Amino acid sequence: MATSSASSSSDPNPPAAAAKATEDLLPLVYTELRRVAQNKMADEGGYQTMSATALVHEAYLRIANRKEQPQWQSQRQFFVAAAEAMRRILIDRARAKLQKKRGGNLERVELFESQIIEPTKDDDLLAVDEALEVFEKEDPESAELVKLRYFAGMTWEEISNALDTPERTLRRQWTYAKAWLQEHIERG
């Protein structure tokens, strides 16, 4: 993967150069990002109404429209940023759906226990996101793995290549991260 450095002293406009580097990077990783997004959407079992292409495009726009453009130093850095952007998009959509589902600004009324329905995928997604925010402060590397695996839907091989970490190590981290998140969600 080509990396681009926008910190050249000969460039009179470093933010513009960083934005150009981000723009130049998309064609190089677009196919891979779209494949990762398709895998993630397939894992959702038709639950998501957003297409893989739309998810990749929205993630790119979020990355490209940052006030401060990152200086892409590695494939890992870019894919982690893309996974985080995809995570945020899916979380924002889940929150919006739940808000509409739950009546938006309408007044809440008490229901009998027999009227309560099972949690939806949106509930689960938001619970994982809230737990992940806490987990990220405790173990940023394992939280990064969760973002790539759960939110971006990357395979073990892809994550291993992106993070330059053996799959066996990643799988141990994953087991720990799942247990930690599950415990936090159950307590929450």
Least reliable range by pLDDT among 3-7, 166-170, 177-181: 3-7
Domain assignment present for residue 90? The answer is yes
Whether 25 shows a pLDDT value over 50: the answer reads: yes
Domain assignment present for residue 1? The answer is no
Domain assignment present for residue 152? The answer is yes
Whole-number Å distance between alpha carbons of 106 and 56? 34
pLDDT of residue 26: 67
- In DSSP notation, 61-82 reads HHHHT-SS------HHHHHHHH
Domain assignment present for residue 6? The answer is no
Whole-number Å distance between alpha carbons of 39 and 155? 9
Closest by CA to 30, choosing from 4, 6, 1, 50, is: 1
Whether 177 shows a pLDDT value over 50: the answer reads: yes
Residue 31 host element (H or E): helix 14-43
Domain assignment present for residue 138? The answer is yes
Confidence band for 140, pLDDT divided at 50, 70 and 90: very high
Domain assignment present for residue 67? The answer is yes
Which pTM value belongs to this model?
0.52
Count of structural domains, the chain: 1
Domain that holds residue 35: 14-187
Which residues fall within 8 angstroms of residue 146, CB to CB, at 6 or more apart? 132, 135, 174, 177, 181
Domain assignment present for residue 8? The answer is no
Whether 167 shows a pLDDT value over 90: the answer reads: yes
Which residues fall within 8 angstroms of residue 162, CB to CB, at 6 or more apart? 75, 76, 79, 80, 148, 154
| C-alpha distances in Å from residue 6, one per residue of 53, 71, 78 | 28, 6, 15
pLDDT digits (tens, 9 = 90+) for 84-124: 888 888 888 888 877 766 555 555 545 444 434 444 566 77
Domain assignment present for residue 162? The answer is yes
